[in-house]
Amino acid sequence: MSRNSAVRTAALSALLVAPILATAADETGIRLAEGTGLAQVQATCSMCHSLDYIQMNSPFLDKAGWEKTVNKMVKVMGAPLGADDVATVVTYLDSHYGKEPAPASP
């Protein structure tokens, strides 16, 4: 196969696959709870993963868990959040998707 033919094949493949990928990445069906911090969560979290991860993880994470998760996203994965943004995102996630902490033992 010549170089031009390979380039044409790759370009055609990309054109055929692009609409499928765009449909697969559609987040319009995912509705997060309204509240302070929602826009920040939607803007930053969806840069790397689907927003349904928030709903899937909510039964497992309390405030400390959300803090660890968001800080990991910043420090390890490179999420573009400053300290104030991290606090806003964690507060939103804990308020709307955090599990209640276990009661203290007597």
- In eight-state DSSP terms, residue 63 is H
Residue from 85, 23, 5, 99 nearest 54 by CA: 99
**What's the pTM?**
0.69
pLDDT for 35 equals: 94
> Which tokens sit at 62?
């309390």
Residue from 1, 55, 52 nearest 24 by CA: 52
Calpha distance 96→9 (Å, rounded) = 47
pLDDT for 18 equals: 46
How far out from the chain centre does Cα 65 lie? 15
Give domain 30-97's CATH number out of 3.30.2350.10, 3.40.50.150, 1.10.760.10, 3.40.50.300: 1.10.760.10
- The domains of the chain are located at 30-97
pLDDT tens, per residue, the chain with 106 residues: 666 665 565 545 555 544 444 444 566 788 899 999 999 999 999 999 999 999 888 889 999 999 999 999 999 999 999 999 999 999 999 999 998 766 776 7
Residue from 30, 37, 87 nearest 53 by CA: 30
> Which tokens sit at 20?
């499928």
